[in-house]
Structure 1
Amino acid sequence: MPSAPNSKRIKGVSIYRPFVYGSIATPVNPDKKPPNLPPDHTHQWTVSVRGVGENDISHFIKKVQFKLHDTYANPLRMIESPPFEVSETGWGEFEIQIKIFFVPECTEKAQTLFHFLKLHPYIGDKAELELSRTQRRPVQAFIYDEIIFNEPTEAMYDLLTSRGSALIPPRARNGRGWEFTEESEASELDRLTEGIKVVQEHIKKAKETLLEKERQVAQIKAQLEKK
């Protein structure tokens, strides 16, 4: 069967397009709560997939699916036009699954990403973190990434190149102040390190408790044998 027009792949060619994904969360002012806000919800937040520097990405991304925590009504949110984002309120941090679907010309499978929603600041000394909390500063957690189209179809190649090449942003921040790779990754590493320490401490205490219980059982057995 002959190939569909412009579905032939261009061998040896790779095209990448940068984008950012992540979230911004703002503490709710208890004196100015939005109407109908559940009493236990402490933050307003938005998770999104965007072009770098607000560059258009809808010419190669058809839609984006966000999978929220199961406690939310309709946790599977499909956004079929830009801006590709979901806004909600809540009190807890959790992992959000992000599934990016490409335009038909791409003929590639959807790409799945994972983002951990952050509501609280973790970067900085204690004084700075406390100031950030008291001033209810927004907490931003955005990651820079690239979608690579290896050997794209002729139709996809024409689509991508007709919009020009997107520029790679500075590693630290773009014009809107979003935090990228280094700070976000450093924060995650710090949190993982602290988490490992807590787990190790729990394991140590559990072992000590187990050893004490075994010692008590041995004493009881010894007493029973004497009777």
Structure 2
Amino acid sequence: MEQPPSSPPPPAAATATAAPTPAPASAPIILSDSPPAAAAGEPALTAAQKALRSKPARVPEDTDKKNKKLKDVEISFPIVYGTISFWLGKKASEYNSHKWTVYIRSATNEDLSVIVKRVVFQLHPSFTNPTRVVEQPPFELSESGWGEFEIAITLYFHSDVCEKRLDLFHQLKLYPEEDAGPQSTKKPVVVETYDEVVFPEPTEAFFLRVQNHPAATVPRLPPGMTLSSPGPMELMPHDKKRFDTKDHSLSQWFSNFSEADELLKLAAARQQVQAHIAKLRRQLSMIEGMPQQSRVIPGPGQQFGHG
């Protein structure tokens, strides 16, 4: 593994302040290859130009199937990205105190290479070769260091999935929360974010390739919509022996994300909010019950005292 330089990194990487755990995303990430609308002031096309643009080109049947869009259809992939960091304990030094791994995975720990072509992790500039490219699953990167910083994670998809890239950002966290107890070499600090990547109007080839994939959420086709016969590549089964990440060495630390878990988290958060509101109401009733003179709040420069 490459190590940070022996001299201390710049202040940006030296912060040891614990970062809050990211909350689950409030809305799915929707990726679309639809061309943007014409910008204001852009010259309008003439009738001849429009005719040339709209004239269909003769393409091979296989290419036509590959590029054919399925209207009113969406394919989604629940994803999780985050970091797991281990304190090195007695082996820790001033500038090398933790070993950590940053990753992007399926929420069910299935293979994501069916949609992801490569992942680029952008580390802090103090690392040697801070731009790291991973082109095979599992899409992850392990390093060691001493400071916390933001990691940019960029996903590039296969051409029949989406031409756009997806930029994600994750705050590396090395130190546990204050109420979590002291650092331990056996219990890592885990910070993960759950989200869903939605691909509207997928190509027919993409739909055929992932319709039985365990990591994909694929709807039924609208009534009357039919697909061409799948080719050999589209019939290939999910190769669990090669790509399944359920036996990943860090999987015991991965969070479980499901609707039931989310409901439990929401219920717990609601109880905390209700308890906080009740506490504030008690404090307010106590203040309202105090004598008027005792409720006077001193203004700027004023002090309470005896004359």
TM range (shorter): 0.5 to 0.7
**Of residues 195, 201, 207 in structure 2, which corresponds to 1:145?**
195
In the alignment, is the contact (CA less than 8 A) between 1:140 and 1:179 conserved in 2? Answer: no
In the alignment, is the contact (CA less than 8 A) between 2:86 and 2:99 conserved in 1? Answer: yes
**Of residues 135, 138, 141 in structure 2, which corresponds to 1:80?**
135
Render the CA deviation track for 1:138-184: whole Å, top value 9, x for unaligned. 000011111100001111111221425647xxxxxx9744276869x
| 1:114 alignment partner AA | F
> Structure 1 residue 28 and structure 2 residue 88: aligned?
yes
CA distance in 1 between counterparts of 2:77 and 2:127 reads 32
**Of residues 72, 75, 79 in structure 2, which corresponds to 1:19?**
79
Partner of residue 180, structure 2: 129
Give 1:108 deviation, angstroms.
2.4
Matched residue of 2:77: which SS?
Answer: strand
Unpaired runs of at least 5, structure 2: 1-56, 218-250, 270-307
Matched residue of 1:54: which SS?
Answer: coil
| 2:108 alignment partner AA | G
Give 1:20 deviation, angstroms.
0.7
CA distance in 2 between counterparts of 1:11 and 1:72 reads 45
Partner of residue 104, structure 1: 159
Bigger helix fraction: 1
> Structure 1 residue 66 and structure 2 residue 117: aligned?
no
| 2:95 alignment partner AA | D
Of the two, which has the highest radius of gyration?
A: 2
> Structure 1 residue 161 and structure 2 residue 161: aligned?
no
CA distance in 2 between counterparts of 1:142 and 1:89 reads 19
In the alignment, is the contact (CA less than 8 A) between 1:55 and 1:166 conserved in 2? Answer: no
> Are the structure 2 counterparts of residues 135 and 155 from structure 1 closer, same or farther at C-alpha, using a change threshold of 3 Å?
closer
CA distance in 2 between counterparts of 1:45 and 1:177 reads 14
In the alignment, is the contact (CA less than 8 A) between 2:80 and 2:195 conserved in 1? Answer: yes
> Are the structure 2 counterparts of residues 91 and 17 from structure 1 closer, same or farther at C-alpha, using a change threshold of 3 Å?
same
Aligned residues: 168
Bigger strand fraction: 1
Partner of residue 178, structure 1: 255
Q: TM-score when scaled to structure 1? A: 0.66
Partner of residue 208, structure 1: none
Q: TM-score when scaled to structure 2? A: 0.50
Partner of residue 149, structure 2: 94
Unpaired runs of at least 5, structure 1: 168-173, 187-227
| 1:149 alignment partner AA | F
Partner of residue 68, structure 2: 8
Give 1:8 deviation, angstroms.
1.3
Percent identity over the alignment? Answer: 38
> Are the structure 2 counterparts of residues 103 and 95 from structure 1 closer, same or farther at C-alpha, using a change threshold of 3 Å?
same
CA distance in 1 between counterparts of 2:89 and 2:124 reads 24
| 2:138 alignment partner AA | P
Give 1:137 deviation, angstroms.
2.5
Give 1:53 deviation, angstroms.
2.8
Alpha-carbon RMSD: 2.6
Partner of residue 57, structure 1: 112
